[in-house]
Structure 1
């Protein structure tokens, strides 16, 4: 998709359109809308929009088009991490939006020689990277690409891109909050995958074993190729790959929660003992698994989240007010705000949704 340039600033109508445009069905559609919108100010050939779980910092949905191949993108991620000092990480370390430009030939930030070769091999001449953070929380990142021979991204375009970050975050949050505030309704047993390198590079990890239900769970994520688990050597779905990379980097279990049309899914990964393989489970996100991330996406305040936590413990209103040291009137105001933000009408509906 080639985006249309606009050298002027965005009108109020254009800025509000990105918020309304996040009423889309899939992350892929969201990415296309964001790319078109950003392209009015910062034209580009390809893009990758990635969101992270705001609690764990692990990727939870993404979209890309006309950019790096999946294999090349993974090589760059692994290579950038191996440098140990990437200036624009898409993880929870960043607390404010930042923009950087990587060029292969023109002035700008430079990757190491191996990673520069990946860019050259993919025909990329300039990459503009936006770390999307707002209100002290990291939400993800947007990568824009131009081919070799095209004009590199300019300092002015970097400034313009940074100004758009807040509205991009708003669009991502609106998309995630549109998912039903409840566990996924996909009626399947949990999916289990075993991810291994097969003796190859980490960037080329493969699914070495999977339960039958794993295929449908990965379909529900909406970003893997249709035949990804039908080959004898299937590639790892992007979100699963990011999750397993987190496990390998930290040597600790990792989690991410993904919004879908049918509700929320949780993916958990942990290293298997006695080897290098990583086990990943995919299932509905229920109750205490669901609430922390959903509270961020829906904009619940810390007090509102605490109220919901007490509700899930089965406490009555008087007990909640006493435990949280607030008056019944204040508690009632919190309940009204919670119901409005989550689109429910009563305490019973709230419990039924989160614990379905």
Structure 2
């Protein structure tokens, strides 16, 4: 099926509203699955959350999936044996979405998990989506079809590929909200009424507010960044500023020098719905793009740095970026000079701290080479 612009925008708008609803992970997955089913019908779906540092699965939510006794074999294949469209391989290749039928040219049984587990269970094609953002890979979504159903089309794959950033942002928010409700250390949560009055705040949120400060304007109750993020979350949920969907967040430095990420999500629907605002210390992976901006790295230098952080040697970097090895070396010299580092290890430690590879590119990044 070929989708027109109106269909793509409808699905994007529907999911954009879900991103800012402030739902827990399972409810978010079910709502996203329902929204996607309008354009990409399937017989079942599975959301798997991951540790962004290792991409190891941490939890799964399944509808009409395989029985539990089949999962151990699937996990074994995924983590230890070669196969098509494995999550780690897709993430490393920068592939946002792929169908098994496309990568096997229609011969699904070339896939080990298909012939050993999925086909005996009555399943045919599957469409896998890596849920990655600038802060890492937080999960993966699979939609699948049963035997006798048509394979996923390339237009369906492209549609889901175009939605990965948006769906990833929603998953990240859902995970943060779950963590905050579970009293995760250092994650603050405020619930604001329509007038930005505080209905609920945990102890961590109060500490972040004190550290941010409310300024000197008389009558001010909350830091400007919190009020701005809450306002943006309401605007997005109301269908305003559609182009900015996914950006109800801000990165700000506190009076003590720490960086904090502030995110807002509407809890429910309508103009009277409260807004949940989450505050947490910025992780190294979230600071990497900002540091790249500060050092003035060009777009090409950012890509070289990302591949360095993945441990690739110069020749492999050159092959991936379609450039000569001496050009890669020239870029590295420039990167070292701009960042004040003297080796690859120093560079990765400076930008990523915990050695976690992330994307340095951002919409505001310089586009020159």
Give the TM-score category using the shorter length: 0.3 to 0.5
Structure 2 length-normalised TM: 0.46
Q: TM-score, normalised by structure 1?
A: 0.48
